[in-house]
Homo-oligomer: A and B are copies of this chain.
Amino acid sequence: MLNTLAIVGVGLLGGSIALAARERKLAHRIIGISRHPETLQIAQQRGMIDVGSVEWNEELSEAQLAIVCTPVDTIAELSLKLLRQYPQLIVTDVGSTKETILEAISREPKLAERFIGGHPLAGSEKSGPEHAMADLFQDRLLFITPSATSTAAATELVTRFWQTLGSQTIAMEAKKHDAIMAMISHMPCLASFALAGAIPAEYLQYSGTGLRSMCRLAGGDATMWSAIVRENRMHLLESIGKLQDGLMDLKQAIMAGDDVALQRLLEAGRRTYHALGS
């Protein structure tokens, strides 16, 4: 499909895209860009990339598609640079937030023609190319957030790329995407950090599978999460507020000994559990 695919940032997501693209023969050649030589070394050892580089070079002039897989707060700037420097390149990303990225890139409508935001609902609390998996995107949702000026051809290329990787694509406005993500992804992750941080260390020896399940997301990269928090600040504060309201309602029902209210609150949670189809 592609002659050359460029992955900028070869971590868990970038590495998994490379592995998946290889397996599905989506590109003749995959080039990896990373600031960390040791990352490129792992990526090359695992056969993810054909060539790795710590700087941008003429290899990128051959690429049709670049996927920016760096921390969210670096994506807009890197993407604009790529779009400016390589006029043939279609650029997409895998950032967990979309609104500030799209806003920044849309300030240059001509460059924004070749930019399509992307966000795979896939990941892991692990990071680094050593944990990359070829099937990470299989049967997962993938949000596509085009800019106001994105060309149909660019949108089509990025959409088909992800569909070939096994993802189910959904086009959505960036702001709506961020509001949804704050609620179903970013707030739950911060709640996991807060809950994990509240447990006294001396109690951990008695922990069961329940606590482990609630603390799993707190294994995520704190630097990555700080960046997501900054980018999705307003929606996130609102979502944390909803959780705080829920805890306050529970507490009041418990203090008042109000079994009917307690039961109603628990049943609301149970409905969500069942709707998730677990």
- Residues on A lying within 8 angstroms of B by beta carbon are 121-123, 125, 140-141, 170, 180, 183-185, 187-201, 203-204, 206-208, 210-220, 222-223, 225-226, 229-230, 233, 236-237, 239-251, 254-255, 257, 259, 262-263, 265-276, 278
Sample (30) of A-B pairs whose CB atoms are under 8 Å apart:
A121-B206, A122-B208, A183-B200, A184-B208, A188-B195, A191-B191, A193-B266, A193-B270, A194-B250, A196-B271, A197-B265, A197-B269, A197-B271, A198-B246, A210-B217, A211-B276, A212-B278, A213-B213, A213-B214, A214-B214, A215-B278, A216-B278, A218-B266, A218-B272, A219-B278, A225-B266, A237-B254, A240-B247, A241-B251, A244-B244
Give the distance in Å from the alpha carbon of A270 to the alpha carbon of B125 in the complex. 10
Asked whether, in the complex, the Cβ of A140 is within 8 Å of the Cβ of B219, the reply is: no
In the complex, residue of chain B having the shortest beta-carbon distance to the beta carbon of A244:
B247
Whether the Cβ atoms of A243 and B195 lie closer than 8 Å is: yes
Contact of A222 among B199, B236, B270 (CB under 8 A): B270
Give chain A's interface secondary structure class.
helix
* Other 15 A-B pairs with CB < 8 A, given A219-B273, A220-B270: A123-B208, A123-B210, A183-B198, A187-B195, A190-B247, A196-B271, A197-B246, A201-B271, A201-B272, A204-B272, A215-B273, A219-B274, A222-B263, A236-B254, A240-B247
A218, A233, A249, A269, most chain B CB atoms within 10 A: A269
Say whether A193 contacts B265, CB under 8 Å.
yes
Complex CA distance for A192 and B209, rounded to whole angstroms:
13
Give chain B residues whose Cβ lies under 8 Å from the Cβ of A267. 222
The distance from the CB of A249 to the nearest CB of chain B, in whole angstroms, is 8
Question: Which of A123, A194, A196, A247 counts the most chain B CB atoms within 10 A?
Answer: A194
